[in-house]
Amino acid sequence: MTLLERIRKRLEAFGQSRDLTLMTKLFCEDLCWGHSRGFTPRRLQLPSPLSCKITAVPVAQMSGLPVYCIEWPQEKLPGVTARRAVQRALASVSAEHVVWSVSQA
- pLDDT confidence of residue 2: 96
Q: Residues 29, 30, 34, 36: is their CA dihedral positive or negative?
A: negative
Q: Residues 38, 11, 21, 104: is their CA dihedral positive or negative?
A: positive
- pLDDT confidence of residue 52: 87
CB atoms within 10 A of CB 90: 19
- pLDDT confidence of residue 30: 96
List pLDDT tens digits, range 28-69.
999 999 999 888 999 998 888 888 899 999 999 999 899 999
pLDDT-derived band at 105, boundaries 50, 70, 90? low
- pLDDT confidence of residue 27: 95
Structural contact between residues 52 and 78, judged by C-beta atoms closer than 8 angstroms: no
List pLDDT tens digits, range 79-100.
899 999 999 999 988 889 999 8
List pLDDT tens digits, range 7-28.
999 999 998 998 989 999 999 9
| Mean pLDDT for the chain overall | 90
- Find residue 44's DSSP bridge partners: 54
